[in-house]
Amino acid sequence: MAESVYQKRTERLQEKLEPAGLDAMILSSPGDIYYFGGFWGYMGAFRKVYMVVPADGAPTMLTSRLEEAYTRASTWVSDIRPYTEYPEPGVTELEPEAVARIVDERVGRDRRVGYEEDDLSAGGFAVLQSLLPKTRFTPAKSLIYQLRIIKDSLELDIMKKAGLVGMAQAEAIGRKVEPGVPEYELANAGRAAGSRKAAELMDEGELRFSPLIPGVQGVNSGVEKAAWVHGRAGTRRLEPSDVVDTCYCETATFMGYWLGFDRPFAAGRPGQRVVDVMKIALETQQAALDAVRPGVRACDVDKAACDVLERHGLLQYRRHRTGRGVGVDGAEKPELRASDETILQPGMTFSVEPGIYIPGEVRVRFGDSVAVTEDGYLNFTPFPKTIPQA
């Protein structure tokens, strides 16, 4: 995306600060650094980047000296300050001191400054408050969600490509599922296929993003892991009765945007009980998808899924919400859960992934990511959903 896109997003954030009683906002989550600053860091939260956005004036970005050159090549922000991760001769400014200095310089000490309460650690916040005792720090992540919850056409185009990357992985894994194959080989096949698809979709010479899949596919088989919502591919070899649950929440990604996506695959002929549960899981997801349209509350979509599970006597085997927002973070707003009364609007994007987890028997989850449209939804991951024969 052009630099002007990120700059305009930042300007919209600045317009919200004064009405919210804030003089500035400290951005610290990797997703928001990318959304507003255009910088997508491979190190994620391990090597933090900050963006101090005053209510008036240009923002300042703070990055590790190790990543300074990469940051400068990626962001539209011109005022970039490096910090050190450990003491160096002639350089003494560490991360917390550097953040405090920028706030003091750009905003002042006796001011009200917003921060991302779901990202900044308690320890980090305590140090920052000790360095700026007169500054009134205010949790303000809600302002960010207001700006990000509706995706524009550029974002939707990227998410469509993330769907293609995810489906390429599922296709490769599905072809390889058969008795005797170890779980990790399925994951390897998916990773390779997804990386190739991402490379096809990227512009030649792209510097900021790698087509290599950054996460690990959740590949789980066997009754021992039937109650696991997430897991990693191990050395277990598939058996003829296995249903392999594949989750792409960490790997259905393209240029900094993430989707939720799940498909089960049968290694052979599972038992009738397993097939029956798979049918119910598919019915549950379809009921939730059928409820998605503008004007409906997020909690109503969740209820549609729960009603099906309750009717079949399986509600107690539900271990998570029906879905969560997707975008530059793997979990955003809105959430498809009982307590979220957000009214769905065109441009909202979220996963629809109700699951059934019966200990010692079976786990199965059909999951897709969708965008709300004027009359329903657009499915980013329209991959086949197959029920095997018993």
Banded pLDDT at 3 (limits 50, 70, 90): confident
Give the mean pLDDT of 131-152: 94
Q: What is the pLDDT of residue 43?
A: 62
pLDDT over 90 (residue 228): no
| Cα distance between residue 55 and residue 17, in whole Å | 6
Split at pLDDT 50, 70, 90, the class of 215 is confident
- pLDDT per position as a tens digit, 242-258: 999 999 998 999 999 99
Quote the CA–CA distance of 73 and 79 in Å, as a whole number. Answer: 13
Tell me which of 98-112, 138-152, 158-172, 343-357 is least confident. 98-112
How far CA 361 is from CA of 19, 70, 271, in Å, comes to: 54, 49, 10
Q: Which of 352, 353, 333 is nearest to 343 (CA)?
A: 333
pLDDT tens digits along 187-203:
999 999 999 999 999 99
Interval 275-291: pLDDT, tens:
999 999 999 999 999 99
Please report, for residues 191, 195, 265, 330, the alpha-carbon distance to residue 250 in angstroms, rounded to integers and kept in the order given.
Answer: 11, 13, 19, 8
The full 3-state SS of the chain, as one line of letters, equals CCHHHHHHHHHHHHHHHHHHCCCEEEECCHHHHHHHHCCCCCCCCCCCCEEEEECCCCCEEEEEHHHHHHHHHHCCCCEEEEEECCCECCECCEHHHHHHHHHHHHCCCCCEEEECCCCCCHHHHHHHHHHCCCCEEEECHHHHHHHHCCCCHHHHHHHHHHHHHHHHHHHHHHHHCCCCCEHHHHHHHHHHHHHHHHHHHCCCCCCCCCCCCCCCCEEECCHHHCCCCCCCCCCCECCCCCEEEEECCCCCEECCEECCCEEEEECCCCCHHHHHHHHHHHHHHHHHHHCCCCCCEHHHHHHHHHHHHHHCCCHHHCCCCCEEECCCCCCEEEEECCCCCCECCCCCEEEECCEEEECCCEEEECEEEEEECCCCEEECCCCCCCCCCC
This prediction's pTM? 0.93
Backbone angles phi, psi at 330, to 5 degrees: -70, -20
pLDDT at 154 over 90: yes
Q: What is the pLDDT of residues 302-355, one digit of tens each?
A: 999 999 999 999 999 999 999 999 999 989 999 999 999 999 999 999 999 999
* Residue, of 226 and 280, whose pLDDT is higher: 280
The encoded tokens of residue 287 equal: 């009921």
- Give the chain's end-to-end CA distance (angstroms, integer): 49
Domains (ranges, CATH) in the chain? 3-148 (3.40.350.10), 153-379 (3.90.230.10)
Q: Specify which residues 335 forms β-bridges with.
A: 324
Band of pLDDT at residue 45, cut at 50, 70 and 90: low
Length of the chain equals 390
Whole-number pLDDT of residue 90:
65
Contact partners, residue 376, CB within 8 Å, separation at least 6: 292, 293
Q: What is the pLDDT of residues 62-84, one digit of tens each?
A: 998 888 898 999 999 999 998 88
Least confident interval from 87-91, 298-302, 343-347:
87-91
Query: What integer best gives the mean pLDDT of the chain?
Result: 92
Which of 130, 178, 159, 165 minimizes the C-alpha distance to 350? 159
